[in-house]
Amino acid sequence: MSELRVKRDPEGTRRRILEAATEQFTKFGLAGARVDAIATAAGTNERMLYYYFTSKEGLYVAVLEAMYGKFAERESSVDLTGLPPAEAIRQLAQSIWTYLRENPQWLSLINNENLHEGRYLERSSTMRETISPVVDLLRTILQRGTATGEFREGIDPLDFYVTLVGMGYYIVSNRYTLEAFTGRNYADHVRQKTISTMHVDMLLSYLRPADNRA
């Protein structure tokens, strides 16, 4: 018999709570989110939230972990084999920046975590492995570029990765204050394209060997 409202649906209930919580936490932060708003949005009652996640903080950690999961999944799915080094860098950067642009709530969560000095992130243990595949990929690209003489030697892949991510992160995360300060709307498509071109140029001109310059 088909029913509109499924009465018993543990997995569904859990999932709906997690989705609702993700939205509330990204919108209002840990302190600002309200458990009753989460329960209502999830179509259940507050009690179930505690049944599945023990506490508001427990739910917050679960949201963080679910987010990391999706992020890691996506990061490891990029395929850049066979591309010339510079082009690989370009595409890797675009891929990461696109992800950040499309998932601003993810950045809100990260910012919230930094407000809490990473307290809740520490509880989860698999963060480091999340990004290592991308950094490995980047390392390979840099090595290929150095081998062909296109890139200079001695580039630290992790610092380079952090810089690359930061470029995209900053303009997405700070889009509202940037508009107030600069008068420019960096959420705008054209604006984003312009500045990301600058960023790619910057990354690549930095990689170019000194001999090639003078």
Residue with the two structure tokens 């690359």: 164
Tell me the C-alpha distance between 134 and 79, whole Å. 10
**Position 178 contacts its own copies (CB under 8 A):** yes
Quote the CA–CA distance of 140 and 89 in Å, as a whole number.
11
Is 78:140 a contact under the CB 8 Å cutoff?
no
Total residue length of the chain? 214
Out of DNA, its own copies, none, which partner does residue 47 contact, by CB within 5 to 8 A per kind? Answer: DNA
Position 57 contacts DNA (CB under 7 A): yes
Q: Which is nearer to DNA, 36 or 136 (CB)?
A: 36
Which residue type occupies 73? Answer: E
Does 41 contact DNA by CB under 7 A?
A: no
In the block, tokens 């329960």 appear at: 39
Is 162 one of the binding residues for its own copies (CB under 8 A)? yes
> Could you tell me the sign of the dihedral formed by the alpha carbons of 186, 189, 192, 194, in that order?
negative
Q: Which does 169 bind (CB under 5 to 8 A by kind): DNA, its own copies, none?
A: its own copies
In the region spanning residues 112 to 131, those forming contacts with its own copies, defined by CB under 8 A, are: 112-118, 121-122, 127-128, 130-131
User: Of 22, 26, 44, 112, which lies in the binding site for DNA, with binding defined by CB under 7 A?
Assistant: 44
State the nearest-atom distance from the C-beta of 48 to its own copies, in Å.
16
51 binds, among its own copies, DNA, none (CB under 5 to 8 A by kind): DNA
Cβ burial, residue 198 (10 Å; 0-12/13-18/19+): exposed
Residue with tokens 């910012």: 111
Binding residues for its own copies, rule: CB under 8 A, are: 27-32, 108, 110-118, 121-122, 127-128, 130-131, 156, 158-160, 162-163, 165-167, 169-171, 173-184, 186, 194-195, 198-199, 201-203, 205-206, 208, 212-214
